[in-house]
Amino acid sequence: MAIGLAAALAILAGGGLDELAGQVRRAFAAGRYVEAREAAERAVASFGGEAGAWMLRGSLREALGEYAEAAADFSQAIERQPGSADLHNRRGAAWFKAEKIEASLADFDRAIELDPAQEPHHWQRGIAQYYAGRYAAGVRQFALHRQVNPDDVENAVWHFLCQARAGGFASARKALIPVTGDARVPMAEIHRLFAGRAKPEEVLAAAATGPAAQRTAQLFYAHLYVGLFQEAAGDPAQAREHLARAVREHRVNHYMWDVARVHLERMAR
């Protein structure tokens, strides 16, 4: 599944690209993006025959928000290592962030063909299936993910959203996956919202509590899932308002922020 820049660079450690990967990591962390780009370009120039050089530059481009360019670099890496499930997942994540949903889903499907053991873990594939309009497939994917991650409210919510598209809001509520072990704030309130036992304001109030350092993430997830709930319940205006607040006011360094951004941009069109 999708991994961040630091994790991608760690994969390269120990090889001929190690020093350049370190330079990219240090420059990026310090906000010296020109320097990071220059080091990544040197990696491609010096080690272009290796998949890792293209993965390095692609990972940097993805971290900088250049998603189509990142996907192009991951394509170069795949040419050199066509049997890599990880590289297909990397490109699939970049394609999703670039709003190329079908291309993203094709890569996620290929990654699972190459490594079938990862299928139950692949919640990103389920989200791509939702945006591709393959709602029944999404229902199956999130039901499968429950087997390896039973205490995840987000999984239950995406299962609900796919079921609501496939069979209606009432059927989704009846089929809502029970979750009791997700301790993240405000996941308990989000689950009750989708179950019909809480109101949006209760979710937002819960998210506004606790240490200040945690509130950005809490409020991001609160607005994201309140927005998705309002859309499923037939209130697109409220949905847009909450998704816009999630994206613009409470940015988090996580794949789900890009999901919120993609959703908001698709609503605008």
Domain boundaries defined on the chain: 5-117, 122-176, 183-269
Percent pLDDT > 90 in the chain is 93
Mean pLDDT, residues 160-168 taken together? 98
> Are residues 135 and 162 in contact, defined by beta-carbon separation less than 8 angstroms?
yes
Q: Shortest CA distance to 127 belongs to which of 150, 157, 153?
A: 157
pTM attached to this predicted model = 0.93
Q: Shortest CA distance to 73 belongs to which of 89, 51, 42?
A: 51
Token digits for 51? 């998949």
**Domain covering 5-117, topology:** 1.25.40
- The pLDDT tens digits for 45-83 are 999 999 999 999 999 999 999 999 999 999 999 999 999
Q: What is the mean pLDDT of the chain?
A: 95
